[in-house]
Amino acid sequence: MKSGFQGMRSLAMGLAAGAMSAFWGASAFAEDLMGQPTPGAIDLQPGVTPLKHDAIFFHNAILLPIITAITLFVLGLLIYVMVKFNKRANPVPAKWSHNTAIEVVWTLVPVLILVFIAIFSFKLLFAYHDMPKPDLTVKATGYQWYWGYEYPDQKISEFVSNVLPEDKAKAKGVPYRLAATEPLVVPVGKTVRVLVTGADVIHAFAVPAFGVIIDAIPGRVNETWFKIEKPGVYYGSCRELCGVDHAFMPIEVHAVSDAEFAAWVASKHGTMAAPTPTQVSAEVQGTGAAAPSAAAAGQPAAATAPENPAAPAGATPSPTSATNTTAAPQAPAAH
C-alpha cells in the first residue's frame, strides 16, 4: 500500500511539473498581439490605458496568487484527510467533534482575505468611476446589429459602423468579425469620455485593451472613459447576447496623433473644439512665446488664442465644415 501511494504521489508530481512547464512554455512562446486576441496565448490582453494596467495588476498580483494559494491549501487538506483518515488507515473513527480554535481560524482567515482583496478592489472601482476632465466626448449607440458613433464636441453627427465583410477583411489582412467599416478615431494621450446607450435592446461596449466594458441600455446613458498611451488599432465587440447577429457588431478604435485626428475630423466635415484658457496658457509657456496683449489686439487676449492647437500648421477650417450634412449609412442586412 505504501509503495503504491508513493508511486501515485510521484505520478502526480510529474503531471504537475509537466502542466507548469506547458503553462509557462505556452505563455513564453505566444507573442501577444496588441489590441486583439492572440491565438494560443495565456493571460489578459496587453493594456494601453492606466485603467487596464491597474486591472492587470489586480488580477495577476492580488487575485491570482491568493486563489492559487487557497486552491493548493485545500488540495493538500483533501489529500491529507483521504490518506490519514480513510477506513483502511483508521478503522476506528474518533468520537470527538468541534474544535473551537480551528473554527475561529477558518472563519476569521477568509474574512481577512476578503478585506485585503476589497482594499484593492475598491481602489480600482473608484478609478473607473473617478473620470478625469475629458478632452473628448464620444457617444456610442448600440443597434441591432451595429454601432453608431457621434462626436458632439466636433459637431460630427452620428455615423454607422458595420462589421467588415469577410472578403474585404481578408484582403486588408485584418481580423474578420473584429474589423469594422467605420472605426472610432480618437487622439492618443487624451482623456476620452464615452457616453453609451442602446436604441433597441441591451448591448455592451467593450474594448479589452482599454479595460473598459459598460452596458448600452435603451433609455439610459452610461459613461466610461479611457486614455490611450500609444497609437495603434484596437478591437472590441458587443458583450451582451443581443440577438441573432450579436457576433456581427465589432468595435474598432484607431488611436492617432493630434494632427491625424484633426485631419479625420475635417474629412467628416466637423470642427475642432476651441482650446480652453488653461490649454492656451500651457502652450504659451511651453513654446516660450508671449501672449498677445489685449491693447494690441483690440480685444481680450483669450479671444486671440489659436483656434486649434492640435491641427496641422497652416490648416484653415472650411466655412462649410461647421456641420455634418452627410446622411448616416443604412443598417446592414441580416447575416
Domains of the chain: 136-268 (2.60.40.420)
> What is the number of helices (H) and of strands (E) in the chain?
8, 10
Binned at pLDDT 50, 70 and 90, residue 41 comes out as: confident
Please determine, for residue 9, whether its predicted confidence score (pLDDT) is greater than 70.
no
Residue 112: helix, strand or coil by DSSP? Answer: helix
pLDDT, residue 166, reads 94
Q: How far is CA 146 from the centre of its chain?
A: 19
pLDDT, residue 30, reads 52
- The residue among 256, 260, 251 whose CA lies nearest residue 36 is 251
pLDDT, residue 13, reads 53
Over residues 277-327, the pLDDT tens digits come to 444 444 444 444 433 333 333 333 333 333 333 333 444 443 333 334 344
Q: Where are the beta strands (DSSP E) in 82-202?
A: 136-143, 146-151, 156-161, 184-187, 191-198
Instruction: Name the range with the highest mean pLDDT among 11-15, 37-41, 296-300.
Output: 37-41
Binned at pLDDT 50, 70 and 90, residue 275 comes out as: low
Determine the Cα–Cα distance for residues 193 and 138; give it in Å rounded to an integer.
6
For the chain, the residue count is 335
pLDDT, residue 43, reads 87
The amino acid present at 66, given as its one-letter code, is I
The amino acid present at 24, given as its one-letter code, is W
Provide mean pLDDT across the span 180-184. Answer: 96
pLDDT, residue 296, reads 36
Please determine, for residue 231, whether its predicted confidence score (pLDDT) is greater than 80.
yes
Please determine, for residue 15, whether its predicted confidence score (pLDDT) is greater than 80.
no
Helix or strand holding residue 82 (H, E): helix 64-84
pLDDT, residue 87, reads 85
pLDDT, residue 325, reads 39
Q: Are 43 and 27 in contact (CB under 8 A)?
A: yes
Please determine, for residue 70, whether its predicted confidence score (pLDDT) is greater than 60.
yes
Determine the Cα–Cα distance for residues 260 and 310; give it in Å rounded to an integer.
9
Determine the Cα–Cα distance for residues 194 and 205; give it in Å rounded to an integer.
9
Q: Are 311 and 304 in contact (CB under 8 A)?
A: no
pLDDT, residue 139, reads 97
pLDDT, mean over the chain: 80
Q: Which residue has the cell 496641422?
A: 312
Determine the Cα–Cα distance for residues 328 and 158; give it in Å rounded to an integer.
7
Residues 6+ apart with CB under 8 A from 183: 161, 233, 252, 253, 254
According to DSSP, the β-strands at 136-143 and 191-198 are parallel
Determine the Cα–Cα distance for residues 199 and 23; give it in Å rounded to an integer.
43
pLDDT, residue 209, reads 95
Binned at pLDDT 50, 70 and 90, residue 255 comes out as: very high
Please determine, for residue 29, whether its predicted confidence score (pLDDT) is greater than 90.
no
pLDDT, residue 260, reads 96
Phi first, then psi: give them for residue 163, nearest 5 degrees: -70, 140
Give 251's DSSP letter: E
Residue 199: helix, strand or coil by DSSP? Answer: coil
Q: Which residue has the cell 479671444?
A: 303
Phi first, then psi: give them for residue 111, nearest 5 degrees: -65, -45
pLDDT, residue 335, reads 47
Determine the Cα–Cα distance for residues 261 and 266; give it in Å rounded to an integer.
9
pLDDT, residue 96, reads 79
Longest dimension (CA), the chain: 103
pLDDT, residue 321, reads 37
According to DSSP, the β-strands at 203-207 and 232-238 are antiparallel
Better-predicted residue by pLDDT, 136 or 295: 136
Q: Which residue has the cell 457617444?
A: 139
Determine the Cα–Cα distance for residues 131 and 255; give it in Å rounded to an integer.
19
pLDDT, residue 331, reads 52
